[in-house]
Amino acid sequence: MQPRPSQAQRAETGAENRAKPASPAGGLFKTVSSSRVSQLIVDQIRTLLREERLQPGDRLPSERDLCTQFGVSRVTVREALRSLEASGLVEIRLGARGGSFVTSPSSRRVGEGLADLLSLSPVTAAEVTESRLVFELGIVPLIVERATEEDLDALRALCDQHAEAIEQGTYTMEMSADFHTRVAACTHNAAIEMLVQSFHGPLLMSLREAQSIEPQMGQHGSKEHRGFVEAIAARDAEKATEIMRTHLKRTASRVKGDGRK
């Protein structure tokens, strides 16, 4: 015997059955019918964003209007809006001038999603380091070309902080990862920054594994960080590339056997 639906479920089903499709403003939305109606609403709005029929900053219709246009209950609309908000595609504001506003996901939010995928996949420390050799060496010419004085000041400040941490015995691999993330920002390319942010978790994993094999590697790395910054300041792409290659290969040599039997 199938369990009887709860009162809330009966109420929502009844509301959706009673809702009458209306002609949506601008013809953007279509009525939906499925056991996962909220996901269909999310899919429609994602499609409208890709087609640029909805733009960041646009205010969505009120919940009442969305209920009418989609032909669903308010509970379903709210579920869809919460999903869009969690994805960084909608911002829900409270108050007299509140409502649901279309946004564009930040590189940090997108990077976090990619990081989750990488962290949950069977990526080895050796594979991470191998990919860094391809990626981080590849962006050096852009860094040399585009790094500003503000970028260089920020990198030098990090090097100073890290040198002090080494003296005090508080240097961590998180500091090393932060340096590489800041270096990538010198490209002033949002896609590159997003990829580096998404790689933060696997990067830390590989660095920690290398440090467990050679506890002093942080001291070598910190000195190379400073040399790399000065090569960038001199606009010497060849020297900067060589320093970074040596730097990355040290980590690679420590984890090269990982997962490769």
Q: Does the reported pTM lie above 0.75?
A: no
Beta bridge partners of 91: 101
The pLDDT tens digits of the residues spanning 28-39 come to 777 665 557 888
- Give the start-to-end residue ranges of the domains of the chain: 7-102, 107-255
Selected residue with higher pLDDT from 109 and 37: 37
Q: Do domains 7-102 and 107-255 have the same CATH topology?
A: no
Distance (Å, whole) CA 134 – CA 112: 22
Give yes or no for residue 55 having a pLDDT over 80: yes
pLDDT at 146: 97
Domain 107-255 adopts which CATH fold?
Four Helix Bundle (Hemerythrin (Met), subunit A) (1.20.120)
Query: Which residue type sits at 87?
Result: S
**Amino acid at residue number 94:** L
Q: What is the pLDDT of residue 183?
A: 96
pLDDT digits (tens, 9 = 90+) for 147-206: 999 999 999 999 999 999 999 989 888 899 899 999 999 999 988 988 887 777 778 778
Q: Which fold has domain 7-102?
A: Arc Repressor Mutant, subunit A (1.10.10)
pLDDT score at 185: 94
Tokens of 211: 């440090």
Terminal CA-CA length for the chain: 54
Tokens 């000065």 belong to residue: 230
* Whether the Cβ atoms of residue 126 and residue 258 lie closer than 8 Å to each other: yes
Q: What is the pLDDT of residues 111-154, one digit of tens each?
A: 555 555 555 667 788 888 889 999 999 999 999 999 999 999 99
> How many C-beta neighbours within 10 Å does residue 12 have?
18
Other C-beta atoms lying within 10 Å of the C-beta of residue 256: 14
